[in-house]
């Protein structure tokens, strides 16, 4: 835990009081807290000590890190992210190899039982050599780091649910953090990648109140994952009226009609994309003309084709239907033959 | 595997497989039966005219109208509402088109150039509600009427249940019933459809495939014997 407060840090970075309060208001509302809590959030956040955070990237593509650190540029959200004492993140830090590992071990020792552990990427349970950091395999590194953590944030769908590494045929036996760690509070911030403001809001709540947000059944903050994208989609009225784009370049697509027919997963995907949006609130995939692919949900990669409508399901194939026809026909012929034999026997008797 | 993943995957595949196997088993089992040779002289040589019974039985006879009107009206209300909901609601049409593409490589539009027409959601909702109301009415009638109650068995009530459930769960999913998660409601809807498919070949719902053939066969026999249709 650093001796510098978050308020000191932000002032050192030239953040004005007005901008700071604006951020606190937005974060308070985003967390689902009443707006009257804003002064408390501001006061607590200003006085809060910078918490020690250890970030372990495992089987990941660095998209989550990119999302948090690069997407918005130098916004207050990214400054809050910087305001934490990020003691270990091997993608971002200059040190590497044994030197970096010593930093991690020292930070863990100094803050044992108090640091926040962020994990992005899934954990391979097959051959330990599938993914290693400075000679340490991911599974043992996670267990060791989780042991001294106050709480864990599983960042991105890979850490939250296994994600793309866990998609069929799952060559590495990839699992989520919650599959491995059972005795620590875990917040799943799913998405591929997750929305930056969601992770900063979780961090802000933790820094401000020392608590974690209320979670849904999949361990995600309810404030952001409480409603489907379809529920909050600006194209929803077109769905209700039965106005759909049939292709990505037809008249319906140009008129901004609903993308359900083109495979949009909005009705079964819980995330805040439609409200918080991306790139500083500029847009989100559906607004850009592409259906939601459901990346914040477990197993999204194996959940049918992204361009098949949600109502199609995995009904089988011509082969399975053909086999069913063959079996049904054989049973029908056999039962009729049996009945005919009984008829003949009865007539002969 | 979530409930929805099961409903959209293995549940759907197995129920469709059981439906196809069961329907063919029963249809071939019936149609391949040996018909007993009728040695009597036909009263009417043009027995094929008996096929008129297929259409005639679809309309109430005037002399019995008082007793059958309720069942006829409710029957038509349910069947029309159910079939329009099944075949003209956009998500259902997308499902059938996907099956068609999987089986023959193309859908109706690819074959004919014409897209399968669909109905606006509001109209489909109304039709589904009418179907449910008609089913509830016929169930009450079945229970209240002593004769119908006496001749009803498990098959009647269970077939009613598996028929009404997809309509109810479908409406619930569409309306986001009670704020329940959509994927849960969608899973319930798919599972209820799968229950319908599994039960279909083995209960009275099989009448959908046999009713017209049965009427035709009865008409041919009646015509041969000179009975009034």
Q: Which residue of chain B has the CA closest to A315?
A: B13
Q: In this model, does residue A186 exceed pLDDT 90? A: yes
Give the integer Cα–Cα distance in Å for A9 and A36: 25
Count other Cβ atoms within 10 Å, centred on residue A108.
21
Chain B residues 146-185 within an 8 A CB cutoff of chain A: 176, 181-183
Residue A170 binned pLDDT confidence (cut-offs 50, 70, 90): very high
Arithmetic mean of pLDDT, B27-43? 86
Which helix (H) or strand (E) element contains residue A119? Answer: strand A115-120
ipTM score assigned to the predicted complex? 0.82
Say what percent of chain A tops pLDDT 90.
Answer: 48
Chain B positions in Cβ-Cβ contact with residue A268 (cut-off 8 Å): 4, 182-183, 186
Residue A73 binned pLDDT confidence (cut-offs 50, 70, 90): very low
Chain A residues 311-340 within an 8 A CB cutoff of chain B: 311-318, 320-321, 323-325, 327-329, 331-333, 335-337, 339-340
Per the CB < 8 Å rule, is A230 touching B182?
A: yes
**Torsion angle of C-alpha atoms B22, B24, B29, B35, degrees rounded to 10:** 140
In this prediction, residue A81 carries a pLDDT of 63
A278: phi then psi, degrees, rounded to nearest 5: -125, 170
Number of CB pairs < 8 Å for A and B?
A: 133
Chain B residues 94-123 within an 8 A CB cutoff of chain A: 94-95, 98-99, 102-103, 115, 118-122
In this prediction, residue A79 carries a pLDDT of 58
In this prediction, residue A95 carries a pLDDT of 78
**Residue A21: half-sphere exposure toward Cβ, Cα within 13 Å:** 6
Residue A204 binned pLDDT confidence (cut-offs 50, 70, 90): confident
Residue B121 binned pLDDT confidence (cut-offs 50, 70, 90): confident
Q: How far is CA A68 from CA A24, A64, A99, A137, A195, in A?
A: 18, 6, 25, 25, 8
Q: In this model, does residue A240 exceed pLDDT 90? A: no
The pLDDT tens digits for A39-63 are: 888 888 777 777 788 999 999 999 9
Per the CB < 8 Å rule, is B91 touching A304?
A: no
* Least confident residue range of A34-38, A170-174, A270-274: A34-38
The pTM (predicted TM-score) of the whole model is: 0.77
In this prediction, residue A151 carries a pLDDT of 93
Say what percent of chain A tops pLDDT 70.
Answer: 95
Asked if B185 and B191 touch (Cβ cutoff 8 Å), the reply is: no
Nearest to B7 by CA among A135, A4, A143, A303: A303
Q: In this model, does residue A70 exceed pLDDT 80? A: no
Tell me which residue in A314, A327, A329 faces B12 most closely, judged by beta carbons: A314
Q: In this model, does residue A327 exceed pLDDT 60? A: yes
Determine what percent of chain A falls in helix, strand and coil, rounding each to the nearest 5: 50, 15, 40
Chain B positions in Cβ-Cβ contact with residue A323 (cut-off 8 Å): 17
In this prediction, residue B28 carries a pLDDT of 94
């Amino acid at each position: 835990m650093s001796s510098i407060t978050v308020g000191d840090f932000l002032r050192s970075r030239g953040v004005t009081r007005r901008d700071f309060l604006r951020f606190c208001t937005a974060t308070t509302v985003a967390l689902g807290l009443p707006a009257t809590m804003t002064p408390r959030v501001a006061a607590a956040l200003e006085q809060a000590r910078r918490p020690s955070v250890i970030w372990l990237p495992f089987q990941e593509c660095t998209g989550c890190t990119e999302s948090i650190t690069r997407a918005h540029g130098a916004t207050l959200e990214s400054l809050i992210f910087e305001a934490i004492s990020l003691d270990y993140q091997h993608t971002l830090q200059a040190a590497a190899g044994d030197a970096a590992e010593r930093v991690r071990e020292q930070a863990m020792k100094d803050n044992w039982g108090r640091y926040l552990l962020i994990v992005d990427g899934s954990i391979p349970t097959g051959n330990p050599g599938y993914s290693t950091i400075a000679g340490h395999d991911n599974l043992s590194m996670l267990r060791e780091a989780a042991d001294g953590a106050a709480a864990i944030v599983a960042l991105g769908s890979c850490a939250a649910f296994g994600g793309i590494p866990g998609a069929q045929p799952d060559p590495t036996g990839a699992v989520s953090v919650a599959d491995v760690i059972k005795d620590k509070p875990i917040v799943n911030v799913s998405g591929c990648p997750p929305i930056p403001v969601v992770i900063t809001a979780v961090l802000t709540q933790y820094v401000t109140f020392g608590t974690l947000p209320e979670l849904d059944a999949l361990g995600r903050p309810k404030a952001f994952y409480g409603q489907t994208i379809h529920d909050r989609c600006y194209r929803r009225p077109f769905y209700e009226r039965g106005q759909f784009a049939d292709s990505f370049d037809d008249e319906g697509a140009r008129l901004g009609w609903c993308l359900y027919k083109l495979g949009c997963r909005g009705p079964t995907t819980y995330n805040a994309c439609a409200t918080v949006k991306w790139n500083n609130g500029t847009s989100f995939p559906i607004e850009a003309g592409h259906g939601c692919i459901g990346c914040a949900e477990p197993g999204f990669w194996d959940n049918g084709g992204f361009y098949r409508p949600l109502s199609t399901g995995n009904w089988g194939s011509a082969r399975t239907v053909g086999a069913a026809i063959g079996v049904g026909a054989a049973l029908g012929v056999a039962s009729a033959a049996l009945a005919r034999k009984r008829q003949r026997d009865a007539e002969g008797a | 595997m979530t409930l929805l993943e099961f409903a959209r995957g293995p549940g759907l595949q197995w129920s469709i497989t059981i439906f196809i196997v069961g329907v063919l088993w029963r249809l071939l089992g019936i149609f391949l039966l040996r018909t007993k040779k009728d040695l009597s002289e036909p009263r009417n040589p043009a027995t094929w005219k008996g096929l008129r019974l297929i259409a005639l039985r679809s309309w109430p006879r005037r002399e019995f109208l008082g007793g059958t009107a309720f069942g006829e009206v409710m029957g038509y209300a349910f069947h029309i509402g159910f079939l329009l909901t099944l075949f003209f609601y956009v998500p259902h049409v997308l499902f059938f088109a996907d099956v068609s593409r999987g089986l023959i490589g193309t859908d109706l539009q690819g074959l004919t150039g014409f897209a399968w027409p669909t109905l606006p959601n509001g109209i489909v909702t109304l039709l589904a509600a009418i179907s449910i109301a008609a089913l509830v009415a016929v169930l009450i009638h079945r229970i209240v009427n002593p004769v119908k109650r006496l001749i009803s068995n498990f098959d009647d009530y269970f077939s009613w249940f598996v028929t009404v459930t997809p309509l109810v769960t479908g409406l619930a999913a569409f309306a986001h019933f009670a704020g329940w998660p959509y994927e849960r409601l969608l899973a319930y809807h798919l599972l209820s459809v799968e229950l319908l498919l599994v039960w279909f070949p083995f209960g009275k719902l099989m009448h959908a495939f046999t009713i017209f053939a049965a009427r035709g066969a009865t008409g041919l026999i009646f015509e041969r014997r000179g009975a009034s249709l």
